[in-house]
Structure 1
Amino acid sequence: MKNMNKRFALIIAFTTALGFTTLYYPIGSLQTYKERSSVLSPSPPHRDSKNRTNDSLNGTCRPHDQLVFVKTHKTGSTTLQLIIQIYGYYRNSSFVFNRGNERFGHIHYGNLKIDRLLPPVNVEKYAYNEYKSNFDISTGHLVYQRTLLDIVMKNSSKFISLLRDPVHQFESAFVYFGHTKKGNGSTEVQIIKWLDAAKHDDRFLNNNQMLDLGLPAKDFRNQSAVALHIKKLSREIDLVLITEYFDESLLLLRKLMCWSFDDILYLKQKVRSSRSQPLSESTKDKIRTWNEADTSLYEYFNETLWEKIKSYGPRFQHDLQYFKLKQTKLFNSCIGNATSEIVMAPALKIPRLMIKYNTLSNTTDYCTLMANRQSDTFKRLWARQDN
């Protein structure tokens, strides 16, 4: 039991350092592993979408399998991407992948064109007429262009995205894209220098969430254009999840899609094993001012998130606690330990110290998918469609 407590302490230490909601109960409130196993026996992923049932919605809806996730940068989006990709992997879903980007499948800015996509499952290459309205899921980076997405996605597709507090998103992008390697001083000192500079030439540090969601950079300082675009997004996107309330957001996703709790389980991806010192309030204000469009976007959809939580009904807290127990069960069923390893950031060739999950011996394929990096799941999906 002593070793078990150490293990739970490790889980909590990793998760509380991420900027997300804490995932697991404090040690004192957890049942023993044997007790939890009797209550929460692991369920295999559902593979038959026609005959499966939802585990807590009492059969009042049928699971929905068509989904567009407008992936944003440095918001924890890779974790959500993996949830959706694992869901689609076990259901033989067709994913929107750029056939010219075999490493990630991302769609480059403005390049969502049928003749640049990997074909859907069981469709021949270059049979472009059969590509139309024949994709189930999109999870890669792209700029939100609803008219183009409607051409390739099945008509019943739901649309979601993920937003993060612009202060945290900006700081994460600043570090990830190597700006701390270009100068001297603490991360905060270098952020201030960058913000005070006359030239800002990095699109990832300029209202990037709003850019991902389709607003041109020329309109970032136009308050009327920003407000109109937010209203447009509120009409067109079914759910915007919030990173700071990730578990709460996932419950809303589960309800929207009529998925089971098992369908939204996850282990966090691309997590730094150490973080910078907290920024001062004055620096946070500078970041919010610079990212004014992102700030308006985040504030609006953070408010709508809580409206949706309120309308979820009285079971919300019960379901949230149940989901946290399922998360704990997943970790203990799949993971032996979590360690750190140096990983090179794609394209930038900058080393990162990231958390690595090591699975238990004789683990299942499902646990392997959960624990491995998202790129491993992507390779499986790519191989299935690259016929």
Structure 2
Amino acid sequence: MIIKRRRTLLAVCSIWLTCIIIYLTKTSSDEWLGIPMPSRLKFSSLRTSLSGISSRMASTLHLTKEDLCVPTKNIVYVKTHKTGSTTLATIFYRYGHDRNLSFLFTFRQPHGHFRQEPLTPYSQPQVYPPVGVPYGEYERYKFNISAGHLIYHNKTVFDYLIAGRPKYITILREPVQQFVSFFSYFHFPERYMKIKADSPEERLEYLEEFLRQPSNYSIHARLGNRSIYIPNRNPQFFDLGLPLQQMDAPSDVTRALSRIEADFDLVLITEYLDESLLLLKKKFCWDMNDILYFKTNVLHANGTKLPENLVQKTKQWNSADVILYEHFNRTLWREIGKYGPTFERDLLDLRKRLEDLNNECIQGQVKNARTLKYVNVLKRNASVLCQDLNRNTHSYFVKITRKQKIPPDANEKLKKGLVPQFCHKNGTTGERL
């Protein structure tokens, strides 16, 4: 792989060097002959020459578009709740960690998520600095990857904090199954209905009662003793920035849907994760090895089946999420239609690799007594690749933040207001976090 990339890099450099020499020679000859050469004509000539020469040389060197494209390393991944998003996050954590990339994490919350405090252009004092940048040198704070939980509002803050021109992606899950998992995971009976339930199975027994008159309950509940609120409906659209107060207004839902479509380069679908990852691989110019994964953070091994009346009530209560999911499910399959003739072959290749890795690495699954989630048990003497694929996001978070260092007392000083605020170049200061 390294040899192939070096060959590709040398070929691309040769193409551009040849183009520049040819263009300069041509321009000089024309000027010596006294032929006027407007700047617009020069640029047009250069563009045409580059395109033609690059195509011919690439053909001669047997290079494809995939050989010439540059792998994406600047990514904004909006991590939605209970959608298989943790499995996808481990792909980005592994990719970024192996390449020494910088992640946008806050040290004020567990696992680096932005939940309690919104992410703003003035958030630098509460985040781990990029790799190799001292804490406090805010003007140098440019990150490669954002992959934690947050509420997405628009691209402005990410375009400011993420290096280059990042690609934006997220993932959605079929709304009924997503809401069932969301209802159980966030303890809806306890938080919304004030009913004690001791297990996920027992909590689901109250789903029908909740959906009988869901509007009787508060629109959101506090998560623990922190000022973090969870919505009681349309949680996927909520994560993507649709306020609870706008979820019943068709015009607001349509406007938010259009904004997401304009902002995001790819929306993955949980039920078609392998197909989605192939699109990601192609859009990002990644290798097949970059999108390998093991499923993580699974609460119910085989999903949950509901009677049809509850399915319909769940869809009705989460109607905005249904619109969101159906729209981007159609979009996914349109994108698959543009993939090219190798799609089925590539899909079989990916699934074969995943099957082989599961057989090679995983001995079985056990249910974690504390989290009640299913986790993989690796075989004895599992390879480094097996260990990396099975590593959870917390483990990666620890490894990554060891490279993005903060002073030991940074969090305490921030709480006491002893950390300097971030200032724009024009001298304006943001609100204290």
Q: TM-score, normalised by structure 2?
A: 0.71
* Cα separation, 1, equivalents of 2:308 and 2:333: 25
| Distance 1:52-1:246 versus aligned 2 partners, 3 A rule | farther
* Cα separation, 2, equivalents of 1:162 and 1:215: 16
* Cα separation, 1, equivalents of 2:255 and 2:209: 32
User: In structure 2, what residue type is equivalent to 1:376?
Assistant: S
Quick check: 1:188–1:283 contact (8 Å CA) kept in 2?
Answer: no
> 1:61 is matched with which residue?
69
Superposed CA RMSD in Å reads 2.7
SS in 2 for 1:344: coil
SS in 1 for 2:351: helix
CA apart distance, 1:57: 6.5
* Cα separation, 2, equivalents of 1:376 and 1:83: 13
User: In structure 1, what residue type is equivalent to 2:260?
Assistant: L
Candidates 178, 185, 196, aligned match of 1:176: 185
Alignment of 1:83-162 (within 5 A): 83-101=91-109, 103-108=110-115, 111-112=118-119, 113-131=123-141, 134-145=142-153, 146-162=155-171
User: In structure 2, what residue type is equivalent to 1:377?
Assistant: Y
Quick check: 1:143–1:212 contact (8 Å CA) kept in 2?
Answer: yes
SS in 1 for 2:112: coil
CA apart distance, 1:56: 9.4
| Distance 1:121-1:309 versus aligned 2 partners, 3 A rule | same
* Cα separation, 2, equivalents of 1:274 and 1:206: 24
| Distance 1:108-1:58 versus aligned 2 partners, 3 A rule | closer
Further displaced range: 289-298 or 245-254: 289-298
User: In structure 2, what residue type is equivalent to 1:199?
Assistant: Y
Quick check: 2:143–2:161 contact (8 Å CA) kept in 1?
Answer: yes
> 2:357 is matched with which residue?
330
Further displaced range: 304-313 or 186-195: 186-195
User: In structure 1, what residue type is equivalent to 2:268?
Assistant: L
Candidates 319, 325, 329, aligned match of 1:302: 329
User: In structure 1, what residue type is equivalent to 2:111?
Assistant: F
* Cα separation, 2, equivalents of 1:59 and 1:183: 58
Quick check: 1:64–1:258 contact (8 Å CA) kept in 2?
Answer: yes
Superposed structure 1 runs of 4+ greater than 4 Å apart: 50-53, 55-58, 183-189, 273-277
Gapped runs of 5+ residues in structure 2?
A: 12-62, 222-229, 407-433
> 2:78 is matched with which residue?
70
Q: Does 1:366 align with 2:368?
A: no
User: In structure 1, what residue type is equivalent to 2:167?
Assistant: K
Candidates 357, 360, 374, aligned match of 1:355: 374
User: In structure 1, what residue type is equivalent to 2:396?
Assistant: T
CA apart distance, 1:186: 5.9
CA apart distance, 1:109: 5.2
Quick check: 1:242–1:305 contact (8 Å CA) kept in 2?
Answer: yes
User: In structure 2, what residue type is equivalent to 1:149?
Assistant: F
| Distance 1:313-1:139 versus aligned 2 partners, 3 A rule | same
Candidates 180, 201, 209, aligned match of 1:193: 209
| Distance 1:311-1:100 versus aligned 2 partners, 3 A rule | same
Candidates 155, 159, 175, aligned match of 1:166: 175
- Greater helix percent: which structure? 2
| Distance 1:343-1:85 versus aligned 2 partners, 3 A rule | farther
Q: Does 1:208 align with 2:244?
A: no
* Cα separation, 2, equivalents of 1:383 and 1:176: 30
Q: TM-score, normalised by structure 1?
A: 0.79
Q: Percent identity at matched positions?
A: 35
SS in 2 for 1:119: coil
| Distance 1:108-1:237 versus aligned 2 partners, 3 A rule | same
CA apart distance, 1:281: 1.7
Q: Does 1:281 align with 2:296?
A: no
SS in 2 for 1:69: strand
The size of the alignment, in residue pairs, is 331
* Cα separation, 2, equivalents of 1:57 and 1:332: 34
Higher relative contact order (CA 8 A, sep 6+): 1
User: In structure 1, what residue type is equivalent to 2:209?
Assistant: K
Quick check: 2:134–2:405 contact (8 Å CA) kept in 1?
Answer: no
* Cα separation, 2, equivalents of 1:79 and 1:286: 29
| Distance 1:327-1:52 versus aligned 2 partners, 3 A rule | farther
CA apart distance, 1:216: 1.6
Quick check: 2:77–2:170 contact (8 Å CA) kept in 1?
Answer: yes
Quick check: 1:161–1:240 contact (8 Å CA) kept in 2?
Answer: yes
SS in 2 for 1:104: helix
User: In structure 1, what residue type is equivalent to 2:208?
Assistant: I
* Cα separation, 1, equivalents of 2:64 and 2:389: 23
CA apart distance, 1:318: 0.9
